[in-house]
Chains A and B, each alone.
Chain A
Amino acid sequence: MARSAKAVPWFLFAAGGTVLSFILPVMIFTTGIAPALGLFTDALSYDTMSAFVGNWLVKLVLFGILTLACWHAAHRLRVCAHDFGIRADTAVAVILYGLATVGTATAALALVSI
């Protein structure tokens, strides 16, 4: 069978798209818009948030969200590059998935160091 390894980035892309469509608007509202409107200011204080993100379950969930966001964006941009007529697919894939890998490592390091 000429099965293609494209299944791997596609799963990350699909999972990322699903997670982000549900989570990202909520994240933007709770951490961006709501505090600007004066809501949740106590809950979003440094001490509360630091303790919250210090929990390993929260770290794991955040790692999932951040990582899948990176892989979703990388794969989407790879497809966009193709649509814009850039035919160097291997180079594009290496660069974008490389950036997603860097994003994954950065998310892991940042979360572990909290």
Chain B
Amino acid sequence: MSERTIELEVLRYRPEQDQEPFFQTYKVPCEEEWVVLDALNYVKEEMDRTLSYRWSCHMFVCGSCGMMIDGEPKLACKAFLKDYPTGKIRVEPLSNFPIERDLVVVLDDFVEKLESVKPYIIPKEERTVEQGEYLQTPAQLKAFKQYTLCINCLCCYAVCPQYGLDESFVGPAALALAHRYNMDSRDLGRAARDDVVAAAEGIWHCSFVGACSQVCPKDVDPAGAIQQAKFAHGIDYLTSFLPGGKR
């Protein structure tokens, strides 16, 4: 194991004492195979206990440690130091969100939007335990499985130019999750989600820049989900004018 010193430039902001956010540099002795989260943990444990950031699993599962690393939204637990050969790394809270404290952002807007798309199965038929499981073929599972992998890390919101310009946009992760349930053969909740999903601030605010899919650490491809939803809801809209169309 070899060691090298990393200069970690961390954006600090403690609302009770700082007028505005500022960068604080820590010289951190790091092991070669560390990730940025290890370096932050070293700072917290050995250098500066006042530093605040979210983390939990350290294995790209919980989605807590999303932050801007050298200007790109990443999971700090998936950003390997060896990929930053200059030895200087800038760490900031996720863009497009208000800062709560240091690297911690306020999630309220996202949580509200996530709830608004009803991200749970609204079943076609209520089944009792005795009736057994809801069965699904592999093909039916494949239609939505990719979109179940979202861990709500919000990297996609931090990079979405449309959300940055206008935060009324429901945004990539919430829309991809709405699509996930709409595509589920056990679900019959699409009409209940339409108010939010098919509105102007829903899928139609997306201009398919595709940055959300590029930065997604779980390869969910929210941009693809939104385009599929645009097609489906577009057909809904056009056929609603035909006799017998859904209104």
Residues in chain A within 8 A of chain B (CB atoms)? 1-8, 10-11, 14, 79, 82-83, 85
Contact = CB atoms under 8 A, between A and B. Distances in A.
Interface of B: 161, 165, 191, 194-195, 198-200, 202, 204, 207, 230-231, 233-234, 236-238, 240
B195 A2 contact: yes
Contact of A10 (B195, B202, B234): B234
A3 B161 contact: no
Given A82-B165, A82-B207, A83-B207, A3 B240 contact: yes
A3 B236 contact: yes
A82 B161 CA distance: 11
A73 to B, nearest CB: 14
Contacts of A3: 194, 198-199, 233, 236-237, 240
Given A11-B234, A83-B161, A4 B207 contact: no
A8 B230 CA distance: 11
B207 A7 contact: no
A14 B194 CA distance: 21
A79 B200 contact: no
A1 B193 CA distance: 9
A4 B230 contact: no
Contacts of B204: 4, 6-7, 10
Contacts of A8: 237-238
B207 A1 contact: no
A85 B166 CA distance: 10
Given A8-B237, A83-B207, 6 more contacts: A1-B195, A3-B194, A6-B200, A7-B237, A8-B238, A14-B230
12 contacts: A2-B194, A2-B195, A2-B200, A3-B194, A3-B240, A4-B198, A7-B234, A7-B236, A10-B204, A14-B231, A82-B165, A83-B161
